[in-house]
Amino acid sequence: MFLAASSFEPYNQGQLAVTLTLFIGILSIVILTGISGQISLGQSALMAVGGYSTALMIINLSMSLWIAIPLSIISGGVAGLLLGTVAARLSGPYLAGTTLVVALAIPSIATRFDSIFKGDEVLEVDVGYPPAWFVRAFGDPTYEMWQFYVALPFALLALFFASNLLLSRSGRVWRSIRDHEIASALAGVKVSRQKVFVFTISASFAGLAGALYGLRGSVGPSTYPTSLSLLLLTGAILGGIRSIAGAFIGSVLVVFLPDWIDLAVHSFELSEQVSNYLPALVGGILLILTVVLNPAGVAGGSHLHKHK
Amino acid sequence: MDTLLAALFTGTSRGAIYALVAMGLVLVWRGAGIVNFAQMGQAMFSTYIASSLIMNGYSYWLAFFVAIAAGALLGVFLDLAVMRPLSNKKQTELLSSASMRAAVPVIASLGILGVLQALAGVFWAAEERGFQAPFAQEGYTIAGRVMPFTSFDLFVMSVVTFTLILTVLFFKKTGVGLAMRASALDQEVAKLSGIRTNGVRALSWAISGAASSLAGLLLTPTSNLSPYTLDLALIIGFTAAVVGGLDSLPGSVIGGFILGFVISFVNYYLTPEDIYLAILAVLVFVLVVRPRGILGGKDTRRV
**pLDDT tens, residue by residue, A87-101:** 998 888 899 999 999
Establish if A250 belongs to a structural domain: no
The CATH number of the domain covering residues in B2-88+97-131+145-289: 1.10.3470
The verdict on ipTM greater than 0.95 is no
Q: Which residues of B touch A41 (CB under 8 A)?
A: 110
Cβ contact, residue pair A101, B283, below 8 Å: yes
Q: Which residues of B touch A178 (CB under 8 A)?
A: 97, 99-100
Establish if A77 belongs to a structural domain: yes
Establish if A261 belongs to a structural domain: no
Q: How confident is the model at residue B303 (pLDDT cuts 50, 70, 90)?
A: very low
Cβ contact, residue pair B279, A111, below 8 Å: no
Q: Measure CB to CB from residue B93 to each of A100, A233, A308 and give the nearest one.
A: A308
Give the residue extent of every domain in chain B.
Answer: 2-88+97-131+145-289
Identify the pLDDT of residue B178. Answer: 82
Bigger pLDDT: A307 vs B11: B11
Q: What is the pTM of this model?
A: 0.90
Closest residue in A to B99 (Cα–Cα): A37
Q: Is the pLDDT of residue B140 over 60?
A: no
SS3 per residue for chain A: CHHHHHCCCHHHHHHHHHHHHHHHHHHHHHHHHHHCCCCCCCHHHHHHHHHHHHHHHHHHCCCCHHHHHHHHHHHHHHHHHHHHHHHCCCCHHHHHHHHHHHHHHHHHHHHHCHHHHCCCCCEECCCCCCCHHHHHHHCCCCHHHHHHHHHHHHHHHHHHHHHHHHHCHHHHHHHHHHHCHHHHHHCCCCHHHHHHHHHHHHHHHHHHHHHHHHCCCEECCCCCCHHHHHHHHHHHHHHCCCCHHHHHHHHHHHHHHHHHHHHHCCCCCCCHHHHHHHHHHHHHHHHHHHHHHCCCHHHHHCCCCCCC
Q: Is the pLDDT of residue A304 over 60?
A: no
Q: Which residues of B touch A112 (CB under 8 A)?
A: 271, 273-274, 277
Q: How confident is the model at residue B285 (pLDDT cuts 50, 70, 90)?
A: very high
Q: Which residues of B touch A278 (CB under 8 A)?
A: 118, 122
Average pLDDT over residues A227-249: 92
Q: Measure CB to CB from residue B94 to each of A112, A288, A296 and give the nearest one.
A: A296
- Domain holding A147, by residue range, is 2-225
**Domains held by chain A: number:** 1
Establish if A276 belongs to a structural domain: no
How high does pLDDT run on average in chain B? 84
> Mean pLDDT lowest for which of A277-286, B36-45, B80-89, B136-145?
B136-145
Cβ contact, residue pair A288, B29, below 8 Å: no
pLDDT tens digit sequence for B16-30: 899 999 999 998 888
Q: How confident is the model at residue A43 (pLDDT cuts 50, 70, 90)?
A: very high
Q: How confident is the model at residue A285 (pLDDT cuts 50, 70, 90)?
A: very high
Residue of B99, B117, B231 to mutate, testing the A interface (most A Cβ within 10 Å of its Cβ): B99
Establish if A283 belongs to a structural domain: no
Identify the pLDDT of residue B137. Answer: 63
